[in-house]
């Protein structure tokens, strides 16, 4: 499925990282009305640090998001309140939040909390 | 003849009460035995004595024979006191299943009345009860479904003034509401009262379900997971976003399942990971189960915050220090234009009648435009104005949408409710697409056009 598995977790690889990005709870509206995206993320950020979740979030904002209402996804430099980030179906808080280093094949799900009833 | 029948009747009645007493006795023994091995769940007040009538044995038999329920479970249900906040799309099915299952006390709180736009999803209300308070309508249905529970109507909104008092009478609360402000209020009071919350929500074709504060003082609360409210402009209700009836119904039914599990839990729930269930009716795999974080030590509702003065207490709620509406940013209407930039539907009708050449720009999405539209209108959805990328020259992007349109005519912008149209009017003016500033917003949108009847009958949706 993935063209290349990352050999290690120490961030030495430089091949792009294949990720499955998913949006739910209405966030897909900001991403061309598409729930599932497959992306290739550069393995390192501009300062050479291995790609973490915050790098991914900014990358998505700049490269995948066509809607100009950026603050519905990213607010004051962080994920907008009301959006949950799930790394392979687990709350990102269980995985180190913004610092989590994304791995080849990860499924990153962004869920906007619903309030209707 | 009459006397012998009466005597027989009396004898039978005596026999029934003997049997009922015997059964009650037996079940009490079972109860006592089970209590020895498993402590009862907190707050499900096991000391409340209940018995089942013969009619109830028959009525609940199909669920009582499940090992998950049994007679102990049925008794727990009858002893339990459940509050449903919101008698809408979630609350209706949840109330029906909990009443049917034999919950002893079922309170329902809602200040709204039944409207016919509720009926595609709020299935225990009815066409004949449009205009009736939802709580009254719901209890009418529920009594007919099962006369045994004690139904407690609360025809009022849940507020900081009444929440502590009302919720004190219950062991479990179902959050079936539709706005974050009230979700935070329910959470904070439930944490103070030590009662679990079964929380669900739905919008469009998606639903979410999570059990919070369960067991109390162990599981995470709403604030552990959502410490900060979403910006008010990102909160979309069913009236604006739409809702598929069975989607919200499913979430309400799932709330009833979780409620039954909590009430009948025996032994007490092991301390496990809290999960959140996501449902996406049109997703590739409709159900997802997500592992959620645990309780936050510094949570201002259920934990010990670093600054103890931030801790939410009975007093801080009661004396009004907690302003939930302000915390969530209210839900103010859009107001970006001056008076002279907006016209009423009546004024627009005059423009139409006068035959003046103009452009009517309808910025609703294509689906809504397909439902009904005014004659000769041009549809450019609001989202297209929002999807021009930042790095594009915004003005150029907007101009390009109107290349084919004559520029010497006035433009009127309409949407559903009169919010999006104001923003588009502002953008068109700033981009200078139509020279001479003859761009006007139509106040109140298509909804006002329909409601006012300015042009005769027009669908309201």
Do B280 and A24 count as a contact with CB atoms less than 8 A apart?
Answer: yes
Q: With CB atoms and an 8 Å threshold, state whether B208 touches A114.
A: yes
On average, the pLDDT of chain B sits at: 88
What is the C-alpha to C-alpha distance for residues A102 and B287, in angstroms, rounded to an integer?
Answer: 24
- Give the N- to C-terminal CA distance of chain A in Å, as an integer: 39
Q: Is the pLDDT of residue B42 over 70?
A: no
For A95, phi and psi rounded to 5 degrees? -115, 5
Is B121 among the annotated ligand-binding positions?
yes
Tens-digit pLDDT profile for residues B303-338: 999 998 899 999 999 988 889 988 888 656 677 888
Q: What pLDDT is stored for residue B407 in this prediction? A: 87
Q: Is the pLDDT higher at B187 or at B340? A: B187
Greater confidence (A15 vs B75) lies with B75
pLDDT of B408 above 60: yes
Q: Report the distance separating Cα B165 and Cα B153, nearest Å.
A: 14
The pLDDT assigned to B272 comes to: 63
User: CB–CB of A81 and B231 under 8 A?
Assistant: yes
Q: Looking at the predicted structure, is the pLDDT value of residue B27 above 50?
A: no
pLDDT at B22 over 80: no
d(CA B256, CA B157): 22
| pLDDT for residue B268 | 59
Residue B323: closest CA among B160, B87, B194, B79:
B160
Q: Give me the pLDDT at residue A106, please.
A: 97
Per CB-CB distance under 8 Å, the chain B contacts of A93 are 293
pTM for this entry: 0.82
In the residue annotation, B238 being an active-site residue is answered as: yes
Structurally, chain A folds into a number of domains equal to 1
> Which chain A residue lies closest to B92 (C-alpha atoms)?
A117
* Position A3 in a domain: no
Q: Which domain holds residue A43?
A: 17-112
Provide the pLDDT for residue B15: 67
Residue that wins the pLDDT comparison between B400 and B194: B194
Structure confidence at residue B393 (pLDDT): 67
What domains can you pick out in chain B, each with its CATH number? 80-319 (3.40.50.720), 342-452 (3.40.250.10)
Please tell me the distance from the alpha carbon of residue B237 to that of residue B235, in angstroms, as a whole number: 7
User: What is B132-172 written as a DSSP string?
Assistant: SBHHHHHHHHHHHH-SSSEEEEE-S---TTTHHHHHTT-SE
Instruction: Quote the CA–CA distance of B242 and B259 in Å, as a whole number.
Output: 27
Q: Is residue A43 part of a domain?
A: yes
Residue B102 has pLDDT above 80, yes or no: yes
Which residues are CB-contacts of A70 (< 8 A; sequence separation ≥ 6)? A61, B390
User: Is the residue at A4 inside a domain?
Assistant: no
Under 8 Å CB pairs connecting chains A and B tally to 127
- Is the Cβ pair B89, A117 closer than 8 Å? yes
Residues constituting chain A: 117
Report the DSSP pairing between strands A107-112 and B150-154: unpaired
* β-sheet bridge partners, residue B290: B276
C-alpha distances (whole Å) from B362 to each of B399, B418, B420 are 16, 11, 10
Contacts of B251 in chain A (CB under 8 A): 117
Identify the DSSP state of A44.
B
Question: A101 near A52, Cβ under 8 Å?
Answer: yes
Q: Is the residue at A9 inside a domain?
A: no
| Confidence band of B38 (pLDDT split at 50, 70, 90) | very low
In a domain? residue A49: yes
How many residues comprise chain B? 461
pLDDT confidence of residue B270? 59
Q: Is A76 contained in some domain?
A: yes
Residue in the structure block whose two tokens are 């209706």: B92
Q: Across residues B161-168, what is the average pLDDT?
A: 96
Q: Which residues of B touch A69 (CB under 8 A)?
A: 386
Structural domain contains residue A12: no
Question: In a 10 Å sphere around its CB, with 0-12 CB exposed, 13-18 middle and 19+ buried, how is residue B356 labelled?
Answer: exposed
- Which of these, B97, B123, B125, B95, lies nearest to B112 by C-alpha position? B125
Q: Do the Cβ atoms of B199 and B226 come closer than 8 Å? A: no
The first and second tokens of residue B46, run together, are 């096991």
Stretch B19-26: mean pLDDT: 52
pLDDT surpasses 50 at B40: no
With respect to residue A5, please indicate whether it lies within any of the assigned structural domains. Answer: no
pLDDT computed for residue B208 by the predictor: 97
pLDDT of A67 > 70? The answer is: yes
Question: Does the pLDDT value for residue B128 go beyond 80?
Answer: yes
Catalytic residue among B92, B238, B289, B372: B238
Asked whether the predicted pLDDT for residue B21 surpasses 80, the reply is no
* Choice among A25-29, A65-69, B304-308, B354-358 with the minimum mean pLDDT: A65-69
User: How is residue A33 written in tokens?
Assistant: 């009305």
Q: Judge contact between B54 and B20, C-beta under 8 A.
A: yes
Catalytic: B328? no
Is there a cis peptide before residue B215, judged by omega within 30 degrees of 0?
yes
B239: nearest CA partner in chain A:
A116
The label of the residue with tokens 């510094």 reads B298
What distance in Å separates the CA atoms of residue B15 and residue B440, rounded to the nearest whole number? 81
Task: Please say whether the dihedral angle defined by the alpha carbons of residues B350, B353, B354 and B357, taken in this order, is positive or negative.
Answer: positive
Q: Of residues A18 and B26, which shows the higher confidence score?
A: A18
Looking up residue A82, the CATH number of its domain turns out to be 3.10.20.30
Cβ(B411)–Cβ(B358) below 8 Å: yes
Counting other chains too, the contacts that B136-142 makes at CB distance below 8 Å and 24 or more residues apart are B137/B87, B138/B87, B138/B91, B138/B92, B138/B95, B138/B108, B138/B110, B139/B108, B141/B96, B142/B95, B142/B96, B142/B99, B142/B106
Which of A43-52, B27-36, B44-53, B187-196 is predicted with the least confidence, judged by mean pLDDT?
B27-36
pLDDT class of B432 with cuts at 50, 70, 90: confident
Q: Choose between B141 and A14: higher pLDDT.
A: B141
């Amino acid at each position: 499925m993935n063209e290349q598995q990352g050999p290690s977790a120490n961030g030495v690889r430089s091949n792009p990282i294949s990720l499955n990005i998913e949006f739910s709870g209405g966030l897909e509206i900001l991403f061309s009305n598409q729930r599932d995206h497959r992306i290739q993320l550069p393995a390192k950020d501009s300062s050479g640090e291995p790609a973490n979740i915050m790098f991914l979030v900014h990358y998505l904002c700049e490269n995948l998001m066509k809607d100009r209402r950026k603050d519905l996804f990213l607010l004051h430099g962080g994920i907008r309140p009301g959006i949950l980030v799930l790394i392979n179906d687990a709350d990102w808080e269980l995985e180190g939040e913004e610092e989590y280093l994304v791995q080849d094949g990860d499924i990153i799900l962004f869920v906007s909390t619903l309030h209707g009833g | 003849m009459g006397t012998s029948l009466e005597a027989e009747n009396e004898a039978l009645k005596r026999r029934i009460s003997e049997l009922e007493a015997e059964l009650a006795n037996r079940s009490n023994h079972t109860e006592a035995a089970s209590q020895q091995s498993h402590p009862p769940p907190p707050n499900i007040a096991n000391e409340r004595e209940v018995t089942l009538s013969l009619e109830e044995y028959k009525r609940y038999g199909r669920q009582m024979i499940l090992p998950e329920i049994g007679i102990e479970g049925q008794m727990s249900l009858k002893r339990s006191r459940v509050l449903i906040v919101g008698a809408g799309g979630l609350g209706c099915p949840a109330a029906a299943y909990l009443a049917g299952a034999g919950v002893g006390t079922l309170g329902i709180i809602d200040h709204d009345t039944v409207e016919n736009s509720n009926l595609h999803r709020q299935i225990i209300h009815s066409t004949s009860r449009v205009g009736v308070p939802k709580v009254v309508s719901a209890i009418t249905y529920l009594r007919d479904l099962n006369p045994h529970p004690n139904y407690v109507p609360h025809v009022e909104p849940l507020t900081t003034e009444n929440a502590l008092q009302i919720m004190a009478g219950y062991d479990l609360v179902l959050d079936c509401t539709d706005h974050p402000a009230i979700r935070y209020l329910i959470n904070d009071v439930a944490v103070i009262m030590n009662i679990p919350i079964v929380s669900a929500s739905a919008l469009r074709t998606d639903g979410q379900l999570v059990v919070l504060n369960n067991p109390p003082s162990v599981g995470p609360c709403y604030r552990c997971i959502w410490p900060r409210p979403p910006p008010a402009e990102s909160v979309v209700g069913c009236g604006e976003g739409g809702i598929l009836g069975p989607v919200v119904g499913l979430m309400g039914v799932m709330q009833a399942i979780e409620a039954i599990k909590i009430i009948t839990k025996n032994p007490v729930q092991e301390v496990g990971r809290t999960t959140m269930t996501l449902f996406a009716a049109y997703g590739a795999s409709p159900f997802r189960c997500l592992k959620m974080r645990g309780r936050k030590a510094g949570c201002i509702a259920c934990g010990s915050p670093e600054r103890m003065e931030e801790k939410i207490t009975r007093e801080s709620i009661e004396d009004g220090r907690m302003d939930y509406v302000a915390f969530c940013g209210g839900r103010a209407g859009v107001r970006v234009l001056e008076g002279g930039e907006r016209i009423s539907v009546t004024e627009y009708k005059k423009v139409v009648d006068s035959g003046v050449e103009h452009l009517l720009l309808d910025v609703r999405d294509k689906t809504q435009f397909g439902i009904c539209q005014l004659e000769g209108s041009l549809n450019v959805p609001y989202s297209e104005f929002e999807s021009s990328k930042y790095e594009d020259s915004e003005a150029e992007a907007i101009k390009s949408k109107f290349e084919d349109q004559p520029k010497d005519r006035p433009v009127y912008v309409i949407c559903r409710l009169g919010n999006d149209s104001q923003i588009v009017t502002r953008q068109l003016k700033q981009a200078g697409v139509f020279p001479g500033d003859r761009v006007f917003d139509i106040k109140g949108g298509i909804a006002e056009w329909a409601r006012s009847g300015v042009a005769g009958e027009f669908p309201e949706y």
